[in-house]
Structure 1
Amino acid sequence: MARSDRASVPDPVRIGLAVTGDIRQATGRRLTPPRAASLLYFHHRNSHTRRSTGMAAGTHHTVVVNAAGQHALWPAERTVPAGWHAVGAHGTPDECVAFVDRVWKDIRPTVAANPPTGPLSVHDCFAAWAARFPDAVAVEFRGRRLTYADLDRRANQLAHRLLGLGVHPESRVAVLQERSADLIVSLLAVLKAGAAYVPLHSGYPVNRMALVMDDSAASVVLVDRASQELGFAHEAQVVVVDDPASGLAAEPETAPGVPSDGTALAYVIHTSGSTGTPKGVAVTHRSVVDFATDSCWADGAHRSVLFHAPYAFDISTYELWIPLLNGGRIVVAPPEPLDGPRLYELLEQHSVTAVHLTAGFFGAVADQLPECFSSVREVLTGGDVVAPSGVRRVLESCPATRVRHLYGPTETTLFATHCVLTEARHADGPLPLGTPREGVRIHVLDERLEAVPDGASGELFIGGSGVARGYLGKPGLTAERFLPDPYGPPGSRMYRTGDMVRIDPGGRLAFLGRQDNQVKIRGYRVELGEAESAFVRLPGVSRAAVVATPDPHGGKDLVAYIVLDAGSALSDDDVHRMISAELPAYMVPGVIVLLDELPLTPNGKTDRSNLSPH
């Protein structure tokens, strides 16, 4: 292809943001869900969407606020829902987001919108089990066992050390450790100190870890001796948790007694961001406790859970807190990567009753070793497209095992809907997303956030239990994605997923696709825009387009199409080496194609449909 000059694009016409000096009260109308599960519908109209929100760039919105001080965007032509008030700022979505970024400095609610009941915090819930069954095994790792009393005592000691370092409620503590029993002690200790843990993944490039540290403003980082060389500059205090010289054994063994609040931050997990930097999803104690006390875990199938996923991925919410907040046992896999035979060995040797696998790992094991799950009662999988053929093979090989298909973004605390499959004939087509877990509200709405006729497709919104606080340090983005829920209690919110769904004849959700260019790769959610931004920051790279292509297991792989600067002598191997230092492994495309030019649509945008298959 011949190179051509970059076309000039005129600046878009901007509508001025109107702001009044007072806070107006709008008359809210409470909408009644058409049925208990709040499954609503909408006919999708193709439109240009701004970023990844589904909001048309030129539409008119207003900024609203609830009694907890949480801000959100709302269509200007719609009546403001009960419990929300317009603040007098209106304009395009971009203008409203900019306004919120100026006026809302902290996404923490000023008061609890809906006061929690039951245990107020994750560590309160754990402490109740430790008091009842102090000698029960909580953690197994490499032949070593920690009882509930042991884990409680060691976490208390580390929590006292954190308090001595100035950690306080809402502080963030970064954690960079190999998978081990010490890691579980560290995560529980952070919560006991009133702080939130921010997991760092040792597989991340140091640039990515530095971004996460900076974004979270972590005041302390907990490391082990295997991970203590961080490789990047930071201002956090470092504690080496497995260093005999650390003096942790001299700290008090009693609970620190930091006041509990269910609305407090429990953890921040960073996901891919469309602006080229990761965004931190802020999840509260109440969301984790509600998740862990759902009755779907009550039949004993999850009494012994394998902890093998990277703890910077939200699968760890299940692997850690479902067993520990239900009196169960965590079996910690060695830090080395697992394959099918090693997984089979661990499940059998340690009498594991349930295991969660990413869709990609599940598919590979189902293809090669479906009998691997014969000793467990339940296998959980999701986060990406799960091939029905793999589910059929597992259920045929393991008739006493069930498969739970999960759906839900990190913003809704691991999963919001689930579908349990017990017979191979149940997996004879695309797997449904299932039905909501307890306390979750599911809405399928149109562009005006209104319910639509039965049987139509629409965008999925999730409210109720598990909805995150928002994005740490990003109030405008929070206001744009966490909207007023007109079908929930006054002042409640719902998360805009960007996923298109419909309801199948059995009343279950069926996934249709994404509204934007966000995809799941091996269970990780990836904004293609973030990967593209990383490429164009590389020296010698002019433009980039990253696309997702099907893999053999029904998931996706990434392919990057790159245009180099004039005169650049970079090879595809050079580009691959440089990008591997910038992005985590799951975001690095497996194939890099060098082009003279990217194909364009008539309006000057990259024509992804005309990118040649590799």
Structure 2
Amino acid sequence: MVSPSIHGHFTQEAVRTPDAIAVSSGEVQLSYRELDERSNRLAHRLRELGVRAESPVAVLMERSVDLVVAILAVLKAGGCYLPLHSAYPLQRKQWILEHCAAPVLLADEVMRGRGLPEGADVVVVEGEKGLTGYPAHDPAVGIDPAQLAYVIHTSGSTGEPKGVAIAHRDALGLALDSMWADGRHERVLMVAPYAFNVSTYELWVPLLHGGRIVVAPAGDLDVHALRRLVAEERITGIHLTAGLFRVLAEEDPSALAGVREVLTGGDVIAPAAVQRVLEHNPGLVVRAMYGATEATLFSTSAPMTAPYRAAGPVPVGRPMDNVRLHVLDADLRPVPAGAVGELHLAGRGLARGYFGRPDLTAERFVANPFGAPGERMYRTGDLVRMDRDGRLEYLGRANDQLKVMGFRVEPAEAEAVLAQYPGLAHVAVVARESDSGEKRLVAYYVPESGGIEAGALRAHAVELLPAYMVPTAFVAVPALPLTPNGKLDRRALPAPVASSARRAPLTDRQRALCTLFAEVLEAPEIGIDDSFFELGGQSLAAMRLVSRIRSLLEVDLTITQFFDAPTVAGLDGLLGRPEGEQG
């Protein structure tokens, strides 16, 4: 009998291969039987706390084996999991918890120590602690395939995040797609933040096919750490955002040695990066993926193998099982092959809508004139064209929404947060693209009177926005330039200018570090006290810089250490006195 639920399919795997390892993190590992029984016990605890069908259960934990137990337990209790990103400001976590009226919050000791949102019963998940008195058998809660499995929040144009509500049948449609049948994703590295949609692949593709989730250590990873994990854990399948894939291709393409298939997407994929990775890993399959949280992560794919030559854009491929693509004009009429139109998705994977927001749901999920009565399609807002062979090419956005480091960003949400700062008359957040193709957010603001310190405005943003939505530069302007139609004239906005007052390097190592900083930031000059992040650096650029510092200076530097000392002077002190230098 085919189970209608995610956890039902997992249970079938646990019966089939009970002693196989389901999830591991370093020395900690659980077999399918152990994961099944531990999640059953926690599910009984959740039922005791009142979790019922579609009860949102918030999850705020670091990446760990316990995290996988927690998410599985929520489903077994009949609830839907509501992941909270550990890097979110506390106020954003609180808003999500209250908006969804989550009665229970699953946390770990680390997150509890950092401060938890209020208003829900807190259960600390730590191994079998507090669970031994609960039954190890399944609570056997009846599940309808249309019942919600999870709610994942994305950036919202109204100034508040919006929760995308996905049912069991939609997540199962992705996890059981025929694309995974070749066994290439036997050992999947869980490396993405679990509060983002890629976790749907990292969790359920391995677990519903008898494979293993290998949980990466908590915190940020650099290129060196990824190489080590891939080799030591014998990873066969991995997802990397287009930006991270590009960094890995440039800095250390052989880090993917042994991987059978790497999925990449979330933004425009660099053809040169695909070519370089395949040249170093001829047995690898690089699969370009396209999709949206509102359509359960992935909707199309395009496999690429060696020999590969970078010639033109990387297509995002053809539809996955039971997905239908419609490339339409503004009047919802199909455009001819080769013409540009907005992509609409139908069939497998469409979300129920935005949790608690029927107005937004009606705006983005519209009637499908090409389907049966009652069918819907999702307006992606993405401009694409389809060739005569049915392959899709992604061209960009039809609206103001942006992709930054693979994350969806609504500039209006960042603008709404910044507009709360006292004394601000107008603000606009735009993306500026560097020579290497990386997008960086820049905030342009007009004070009502007097001056507003950029540092104070940045601190305000850091307190209320996720890190990837905080602008990398804040530029004061006397007025926002407008077009003749009264819209913001983005082309007339000035480029951010770095301060001219900076301290010059004094030693050979400081000079080498300044050169590397300038190289990665694409800046003409760097002072030893300039913060990498205040100059526009982001996490992907930081990974690139750390890799080059390790290579050039032959030092053991981690991305976490760099985040703690993001200036040349700070790094120089962290690295200590160079060998041979006299005191």
Class of the TM-score when normalised by the shorter of the 2 chains: 0.7 to 0.9
1:189-208 → structure 2 map (5 Å cutoff):
189-208=73-92
Whichever residue aligns with residue 188 of structure 1, its letter is: L
1:583 counterpart = 2:465: yes
Out of 151, 166, 169, the position equivalent to 1:286 is 169
**Identical residues among aligned pairs (%):** 52
Rounded to whole Å, the distance in 2 between the matches of 1:297 and 1:449 is: 33
Structure 1 position 327, deviation (Å): 0.6
Structure 1 position 243, deviation (Å): 7.6
Partner of 1:466: 349
Out of 470, 494, 513, the position equivalent to 1:612 is 494
Residues 408 and 417, structure 1, Cα contact 8 Å, conserved in 2: yes
Out of 32, 51, 54, the position equivalent to 1:148 is 32
TM-score (structure 1 length as normaliser):
0.79
Residues 137 and 148, structure 1, Cα contact 8 Å, conserved in 2: yes
1:223 counterpart = 2:111: no
Partner of 1:367: 250
Rounded to whole Å, the distance in 2 between the matches of 1:359 and 1:325 is: 26
1:273 counterpart = 2:183: no
Q: Deviations over 1:547-574 (max 9, x none)?
A: 112245534221111112212x322222
Structure 1 position 540, deviation (Å): 2.8
Partner of 1:563: 446
Rounded to whole Å, the distance in 1 between the matches of 2:428 and 2:220 is: 30
Structure 1 position 231, deviation (Å): 3.6
Out of 370, 376, 393, the position equivalent to 2:276 is 393
Partner of 1:68: none
**Counterpart secondary structure, 1:346:** helix
Out of 458, 472, 480, the position equivalent to 1:598 is 480
Change (3 A) 1:496 1:136: same
**Counterpart secondary structure, 1:211:** helix
Residues 66 and 127, structure 2, Cα contact 8 Å, conserved in 1: no
Which piece of structure 1 moves more, 544-553 or 315-324? 544-553
Whichever residue aligns with residue 141 of structure 1, its letter is: S
Q: Deviations over 1:435-486 (max 9, x none)?
A: 1101100001122222233332111000000111100001121112111122
Structure 1 position 603, deviation (Å): 3.1
Structure 1 position 229, deviation (Å): 4.3
1:486-505 → structure 2 map (5 Å cutoff):
486-505=369-388
Partner of 2:316: 433
Rounded to whole Å, the distance in 2 between the matches of 1:585 and 1:595 is: 24
**Counterpart secondary structure, 1:266:** strand
**Counterpart secondary structure, 1:491:** coil
Partner of 2:196: 313
Partner of 1:188: 72
Residues 384 and 555, structure 1, Cα contact 8 Å, conserved in 2: no
**Counterpart secondary structure, 1:306:** strand
Out of 213, 217, 220, the position equivalent to 2:97 is 213
Structure 1 position 144, deviation (Å): 1.6
1:177 counterpart = 2:61: yes
Whichever residue aligns with residue 454 of structure 2, its letter is: D
Partner of 2:407: 524
Partner of 2:570: none
Whichever residue aligns with residue 391 of structure 2, its letter is: R
Q: Deviations over 1:382-432 (max 9, x none)?
A: 111221111111011111111111111100111111111112535322111
How large is the RMSD of aligned CA atoms in angstroms?
A: 1.5
Partner of 1:422: 305
Rounded to whole Å, the distance in 2 between the matches of 1:576 and 1:588 is: 7
Whichever residue aligns with residue 260 of structure 2, its letter is: R
1:234 counterpart = 2:118: yes
1:543-562 → structure 2 map (5 Å cutoff):
543-551=426-434, 553-562=436-445
Partner of 2:510: none
1:483 counterpart = 2:366: yes
**Counterpart secondary structure, 2:132:** helix
**Counterpart secondary structure, 1:462:** strand
**Counterpart secondary structure, 1:425:** coil
Whichever residue aligns with residue 579 of structure 1, its letter is: A
Change (3 A) 1:356 1:387: same
1:375-414 → structure 2 map (5 Å cutoff):
375-414=258-297
Rounded to whole Å, the distance in 1 between the matches of 2:400 and 2:445 is: 18
Whichever residue aligns with residue 238 of structure 1, its letter is: V
Q: Deviations over 1:183-219 (max 9, x none)?
A: 0000000000010001011111111111211221111
Out of 313, 319, 332, the position equivalent to 1:449 is 332
Rounded to whole Å, the distance in 1 between the matches of 2:106 and 2:114 is: 11
Whichever residue aligns with residue 125 of structure 2, its letter is: V
Rounded to whole Å, the distance in 2 between the matches of 1:607 and 1:241 is: 51
1:327 counterpart = 2:210: yes
Partner of 1:95: none
> Aligned residues, how many?
496
Rounded to whole Å, the distance in 2 between the matches of 1:134 and 1:330 is: 15
Structure 1 position 358, deviation (Å): 1.3
Rounded to whole Å, the distance in 1 between the matches of 2:389 and 2:34 is: 48
Q: Deviations over 1:257-297 (max 9, x none)?
A: 10011101000000000010000000110011110111110
Whichever residue aligns with residue 484 of structure 2, its letter is: P
Whichever residue aligns with residue 151 of structure 1, its letter is: L
Whichever residue aligns with residue 221 of structure 1, its letter is: L
Partner of 1:256: 139
**Counterpart secondary structure, 1:337:** coil
Structure 1 position 363, deviation (Å): 1.2
Q: Deviations over 1:31-65 (max 9, x none)?
A: xxxxxxxxxxxxxxxxxxxxxxxxxxxxxxxxxxx
Rounded to whole Å, the distance in 2 between the matches of 1:340 and 1:160 is: 41
> Structure 1: which 5+ runs fail to align?
1-116
Rounded to whole Å, the distance in 2 between the matches of 1:593 and 1:370 is: 37
Partner of 1:168: 52
Rounded to whole Å, the distance in 2 between the matches of 1:233 and 1:355 is: 32
Out of 108, 114, 135, the position equivalent to 2:19 is 135
Whichever residue aligns with residue 237 of structure 1, its letter is: D
Rounded to whole Å, the distance in 2 between the matches of 1:127 and 1:552 is: 50
**Counterpart secondary structure, 1:362:** helix
Rounded to whole Å, the distance in 2 between the matches of 1:587 and 1:308 is: 20
Rounded to whole Å, the distance in 1 between the matches of 2:152 and 2:60 is: 13
Rounded to whole Å, the distance in 1 between the matches of 2:438 and 2:196 is: 18
**Counterpart secondary structure, 2:431:** strand
Rounded to whole Å, the distance in 2 between the matches of 1:565 and 1:364 is: 41
Whichever residue aligns with residue 223 of structure 1, its letter is: A
Whichever residue aligns with residue 471 of structure 2, its letter is: P
**Counterpart secondary structure, 1:163:** helix
Rounded to whole Å, the distance in 2 between the matches of 1:316 and 1:549 is: 29
Whichever residue aligns with residue 466 of structure 2, its letter is: P
1:507-518 → structure 2 map (5 Å cutoff):
507-518=390-401
Residues 66 and 125, structure 2, Cα contact 8 Å, conserved in 1: yes
Residues 337 and 387, structure 2, Cα contact 8 Å, conserved in 1: no
Q: Which has the higher contact order (CA 8 A, sep 6+)?
A: 1
Rounded to whole Å, the distance in 1 between the matches of 2:12 and 2:127 is: 30
Whichever residue aligns with residue 207 of structure 1, its letter is: Q
Rounded to whole Å, the distance in 2 between the matches of 1:429 and 1:350 is: 35
